[in-house]
Amino acid sequence: MKMKPLSLLFSHFLVIVLTTSYVPVDAFTRSDFPEDFLFGAATSAYQWEGAVNEDGRTPSIWDTFVHSDRPGITGNGDIASDGYHKYKEDVKLMAEMGLESFRISISWSRLIPNGRGFVNPKGILFYKNLIKELKRHGIEPQVTLYHYDHPQSLEDEYGGWVDRKIIEDFTAYADVCFREFGEDVKLWTTINEATIFATGSYGQGLGPPGRCTPNILVNCPTGNSSTEPYLVGHNVLLAHASVYKLYKLKYKSKQRGSIGFSIYALGLTPATNSKDDEIATQRAQTFLYAWLLKPLVFGDYPDEVKRTVGSRLPVFSEEELEQVKGSSDFLGLIHYTTFAVTNRYSPSTIFPMDVEGFTKDMGVYVSPIGNSTFFASEPAPWGLEDTLEYLKDSYNNPPIYILENGARLESHSILQDTKRIDYMKGYIGAVLNAIKNGSDMRSYLIWSMVDLYELLGGYSSSFGLYYVNFSDPGRKRFPRLSVSWYTGFLNGTIDVAPQDTIQLKRNFSSYSSL
Ligand SMILES: *[C@@H]1O[C@H](CO)[C@@H](O)[C@H](O)[C@H]1NC(C)=O
Ligand SMILES: *[C@@H]1O[C@H](CO)[C@@H](O)[C@H](O)[C@H]1NC(C)=O
Ligand SMILES: *[C@@H]1O[C@H](CO)[C@@H](O)[C@H](O)[C@H]1NC(C)=O
Ligand SMILES: *[C@@H]1O[C@H](CO)[C@@H](O)[C@H](O)[C@H]1NC(C)=O
Ligand SMILES: *[C@@H]1O[C@H](CO)[C@@H](O)[C@H](O)[C@H]1NC(C)=O
Ligand SMILES: *[C@@H]1O[C@H](CO)[C@@H](O)[C@H](O)[C@H]1NC(C)=O
């Protein structure tokens, strides 16, 4: 059995079991948030839709990845939560819950089966129907264009994101999406959690397409962990900027939407209060955030990354720099948990196999906080607050959409998910605290609306507010307790009380000073 713990760094495959409950410091209700702030839930195409061979869809790299014989893969998204057939039912459940927004992604290979050229009318129809259904129920769609799933045909043809050819194909795909859906969709995210996509899928081989230097622990068939994460990060930025430009020139004046970039936003805190660990934490921020955000906001990579990575880091031309700089209307965050940073490099249990790439370049040790383990991570809403504070101060207070935040249950069958409710209270409270301190927060989406097929853990990773019976061909949904909590919070009848404020603050600071 090859290592599984590696999973840690990935978002929805983060293995979180809650061990302590956390309630935010101040009492609050929905009405303490700005009126146009959007509360909702999230999914992605491959994890929710199923129907992988229906109506003209062709395989994406995610289909190929999970149908390979790699160790550690459990199940596949062939049927998933059957969202393709059950979308009306799900939208009805969302409306009953009072969700204000719902995040989907579009399956590129459902819309454009060969990656470029022919546009599949049935693909268009599905997304139009889904988006109309959301709008009809007053739910604002948030759409991600790319979520680990470009058409396999493009991977076969030129290696997908490792080749610049993808920029043109991705832009043409985005063009179709804006043209067909842009009348109803105002919030677009280009790439899902770009930082971890580049490092996890191309450095550690953990996500599709599963590339890394062959013969390290995960035994990728092909790849180069020391170069490809940077190459992919570079091409992702260029593709994002190209799509931003297209929208601005061709659609923005009539559709009036926004285009954002998204990153995996791991909370980072010094392991001790030593100067060394503080410096190490800044270095981790430079690699996990500034690497892609600095070019996006200010132009060009951080000097520290340039110095460390040297010739393995691609170089922007003057023209590209100009195009990348300022090419995002907002920042999308995928945030689940916080890790402690120590000023020493060792191939930690979190990145055991990335011996020559990104993690080594970063050169620090990151590990779960407190009593957290790989399978039991403690909620740390203060870690989200710190992250939001860092982003506000370092990147000119960008508008921020939390595109994913959530907690995995110890067991799929749990319906009384009180620990998840505590988790949500804590993290929603953290967002409110950030708003009060000046962060430009726009949205909070819980991952996930219903149980999904997860990148790691498959069907045993339960992030859904709704339980889905995956043994049942009908994929019946059952509400967990969190559904009624979220419903009550959103309709204003449930507030988060100021109980035990003093003890809570004390607990909060005991976490903060770990
Ligand atoms: C990865 O690329 C670097 C730089 O081109 C090269 O030196 C190294 O040998 C490559 N590693 C593998 C395993 O191909
Ligand atoms: C961590 O676990 C130990 C042993 O179970 C316990 O004594 C301690 O209180 C725990 N710490 C926190 C912060 O929960
Ligand atoms: C609130 O924002 C100010 C200004 O950015 C900053 O100095 C301060 O540390 C922040 N407070 C907290 C609790 O994050
Ligand atoms: C799940 O579905 C299976 C197969 O239809 C059924 O036997 C089982 O009772 C269902 N479980 C629940 C909790 O409804
Ligand atoms: C608000 O939501 C709760 C569920 O938590 C529900 O019982 C109640 O009927 C709802 N109230 C209104 C006014 O919609
Ligand atoms: C604070 O932490 C202690 C020890 O972990 C725990 O027993 C207590 O329930 C916590 N208090 C609150 C209000 O969460």
Query: What is the position in ligand 3's atom list of the atom closest to the CA of 434?
Result: 14
pLDDT-derived band of residue 495, with 50, 70 and 90 as boundaries?
confident
Residue at 385 is within a domain = yes
Residue at 495 is within a domain = yes
Residue at 501 is within a domain = yes
pLDDT of residue 71: 80
Number of domains in the chain: 1
For 389-407, what is the mean pLDDT?
Answer: 97
Q: What is the pLDDT of residues 104-153, one digit of tens each?
A: 999 999 999 999 999 999 999 999 999 999 999 999 999 999 999 999 99
pLDDT of residue 372: 62
Q: What is the pLDDT of residues 349-380, one digit of tens each?
A: 555 455 678 988 999 988 887 666 544 567 78
Q: Which two tokens stand for residue 432?
A: 């409110």
Nearest CA to ligand 5 atom 13: 491
For ligand 4, the distance from its centroid to the CA atom of residue 76, given in whole angstroms, is: 20
Residue at 512 is within a domain = no
For 291-295, what is the mean pLDDT?
Answer: 98
For ligand 2, the distance from its centroid to the CA atom of residue 377, given in whole angstroms, is: 13
In DSSP notation, 196-211 reads HHHHHHHTS--STT--
Q: What is the pLDDT of residues 72-115, one digit of tens each?
A: 888 999 999 999 999 999 999 999 999 999 999 999 999 999 99
Q: Which ligand is nearest to the CA of 226?
A: 1
CATH of the domain at 338: 3.20.20.80
Is 356 noted as a catalytic residue in this protein?
no
Position 6 pLDDT exceeds 60:
no
CA distances from 255 to 184, 247, 329, 428 (A): 8, 9, 14, 30
Residue at 35 is within a domain = yes
Residues with CB under 6 A from ligand 2: 20, 370-371
The dihedral region occupied by 462, where left means phi > 0, alpha psi between -120 and 50, and beta the remainder, is beta
For ligand 2, the distance from its centroid to the CA atom of residue 350, given in whole angstroms, is: 22
Q: What is the pLDDT of residues 28-60, one digit of tens each?
A: 899 999 999 999 999 999 999 999 999 999 999
Going by C-alpha positions, the residue among 147, 230, 224, 234 that lies closest to residue 453 is: 147
Ligand 6 pocket mutation, candidates 421, 496, 504, 507, criterion most atoms within 8 A of CB: 507
For ligand 6, the distance from its centroid to the CA atom of residue 21, given in whole angstroms, is: 8
For ligand 5, the distance from its centroid to the CA atom of residue 37, given in whole angstroms, is: 20
Q: What is the pLDDT of residues 421-438, one digit of tens each?
A: 988 998 999 999 999 999
Q: Which ligand is nearest to the CA of 214?
A: 1
pLDDT-derived band of residue 498, with 50, 70 and 90 as boundaries?
low
Residue at 50 is within a domain = yes
User: Phi and psi dihedrals of 474, rounded to 5?
Assistant: -80, -5
Please tell me which residue in 140, 155, 404, 454 is annotated as part of the active site: 404
Please tell me which residue in 193, 320, 378, 385 is annotated as part of the active site: 193
pTM of the model: 0.91
Distance CA 444, CA 28 (A): 15
Residues with CB under 6 A from ligand 4: 469, 471-472
Whether residue 504 has its Cβ less than 6 Å from ligand 6: yes
Q: Which amino acid is at 146?
A: Y
Q: Give 360's strand partners.
A: none
Residue at 269 is within a domain = yes
Is 320 noted as a catalytic residue in this protein?
no
Query: What is the position in ligand 5's atom list of the atom closest to the CA of 491?
Result: 1
pLDDT of residue 237: 98
Whether residue 393 has its Cβ less than 6 Å from ligand 3: yes
For ligand 4, the distance from its centroid to the CA atom of residue 16, given in whole angstroms, is: 25
Q: Which domain holds residue 368?
A: 5-507
Average pLDDT in the chain: 89
Q: Which ligand is nearest to the CA of 475?
A: 4
For ligand 4, the distance from its centroid to the CA atom of residue 397, given in whole angstroms, is: 48
Residue 398 C-alpha from the chain's centroid = 18
Ligand 4 pocket mutation, candidates 414, 472, 478, criterion most atoms within 8 A of CB: 472
Residue at 513 is within a domain = no
Task: Kindly state the DSSP code that residue 244 receives in the 8-state scheme.
Answer: H
Lowest mean per-residue pLDDT among 206-210, 266-270, 388-392, 494-498: 494-498
Nearest CA to ligand 2 atom 8: 371
pLDDT of residue 400: 98
Nearest CA to ligand 3 atom 9: 389
Distance CA 152, CA 60 (A): 5
